[in-house]
Structure 1
Amino acid sequence: MFDFDAGKLIVIGVVALVVIPTKDLPRVLRQLGQLIGKARRMAAEFQGQFMEAIREAELHDLRKDLKQEVDSAIAGVGLSGSFDPMTEARKQITDAIEAPVGPAAEAPPAESPLPPETPPQKELPA
């Protein structure tokens, strides 16, 4: 990023020893370490958000491609995009109810499940 090699770091350290008094050096180094830590956390957070945005964009593109493939497959088969079983059942029931009634549409009468009637018997006087 800043391209610091060992020679540059040694020069910066020597300048810091000359400019910063010895008693303040630990406090300055601690603050410098905290500043570097904050910068690294911010960079990691930015990189994470950037990678998440890339993943979302790729997912959006994949989703769009998949929808186009499914739509083309449905169109190739000749199906409409939706199938509603309740609508199909309602249509079949309505067709059955509205079917024409007549001699051709009637089924032959079934035999009665009841036994044939027997004539009433006369009661005998006691």
Structure 2
Amino acid sequence: MAACVFCLIVAGHAPADVVREWGDVIAIRPLNPVTPGHVLVIPHTHVPDVGQDPGVSGRTMACAAELAAILPAANVITSKGTAATQTVAHLHLHIVPRTAGDALPLPWTPQQHTAG
């Protein structure tokens, strides 16, 4: 089994552009941000997704809320499972700053769906 990339980052064994650190949570810039200022908020504890450990999930959300509070508009998003677009099986929250007219569609917006 391959090592978890987020576990490697929080352990200091993989590079990351760190935005902020708390004792048990880290915020980093993703490799491919979808808007300027996009960050990932990741707990140090390996939890596969938001449904596995409510305490870790709540703490991670509290840290994400601190970062989102300074933004005029943002999406705070997490996914649970591959069908919900989760690509790394380690809890992480995306803070995506938004501006009027940025045209960034979310997975559930109508322009993302094609007639089948």
TM-score by length of 1: 0.21
- Give the number of the structure with larger relative contact order, counting CA–CA contacts within 8 Å between residues 6 or more apart: 2
Report the structure, 1 or 2, having the larger strand content.
2
Report the structure, 1 or 2, having the larger helix content.
1
